[in-house]
Amino acid sequence: MIAGRDQHGARRRTIEVLADGEAVARHGAELFARAARDAVKRRGTFIAALSGGSTPQRLYEVLGRDPWLSTVPWGQVQLLWGDERCVPPDSPESNYRMAQEAFVARVPILPENVFRMRGEDDPAEAAVAYEMRLRELGGKTGATSLGAPIIDLVLLGIGANGHTASLFPHSPALREPERLAVAVEVPQVGWRLTLTVPVMNASRQVVFVATGEEKAAVLARILQGPSAGDELPAQLIAPRPGRLTWLLDEAAAVRLHRQG
């Protein structure tokens, strides 16, 4: 384990380094299951926000099989998405489709508890519609000062340029103070939908997962470099009073300095 403070200097974070990607996926699945059981015991429901990407995908595949399949209280789980590409839900690029095929279709979750982003609609209209759904959910389960539901667990990946969800470097979305979900146009990428920083930072727990040596350089900058949130959006994710956990494999952590 590597100790350290978040980039805002306000609290300790946890960085766990595991042997390889499979170990990261299994440990991430266990964190999901543990958080789900605890949330249901305390509040009767568990709200999770999912990410796209190859590393989260393997975590989802693990969730869809035992022992996690039979230890998560799926009937009380509510699924959100942290971001989505503006494509139809059956597109190979859809984050919803990836999660649906990896585990959602394999577990006994209630269809009405799956809140996907409508990537096939007009981006601005889809963002407004998702924000309305979030406010409705927050009204039922408990809301932040902005009206967003308090998410129990946000799962995030990390891009080689430091982006997370669809919060890209220098995007105006990084400084959005009031909206819960926004549409962003990314050069060479296209339109995306994403939750905003305040929604993620009001969550009870954020778990980043990253594997592979190709992530090592940017992780060193994010975790042990100077604060530069506009260039490294992942640095802006610092939940209070929630927990911030990074799950890395040895290859991704190779450039980090061990501090304890």
Q: Domain segments of the chain: what residues? A: 13-249
Q: What is the pLDDT of residue 189?
A: 87
- What is the pTM for the complete model shown? 0.94
Q: What is the pLDDT of residue 27?
A: 97
Q: What is the pLDDT of residue 240?
A: 84
- CATH T-level assignment (fold) for domain 13-249: Rossmann fold (3.40.50)
Residues in the chain with pLDDT values less than 50: 3-5, 7-10, 260
55 vs 155: CA distance, rounded Å? 11
Q: What is the pLDDT of residue 187?
A: 87
Q: Map tokens 């577990």 to a residue.
A: 107
Q: What is the pLDDT of residue 55?
A: 87
Q: What is the pLDDT of residue 11?
A: 53
Q: What is the pLDDT of residue 9?
A: 43
Tell me whether strands 83-85 and 190-195 are parallel, antiparallel or unpaired. antiparallel
Q: What is the pLDDT of residue 188?
A: 83
252 vs 236: CA distance, rounded Å? 20
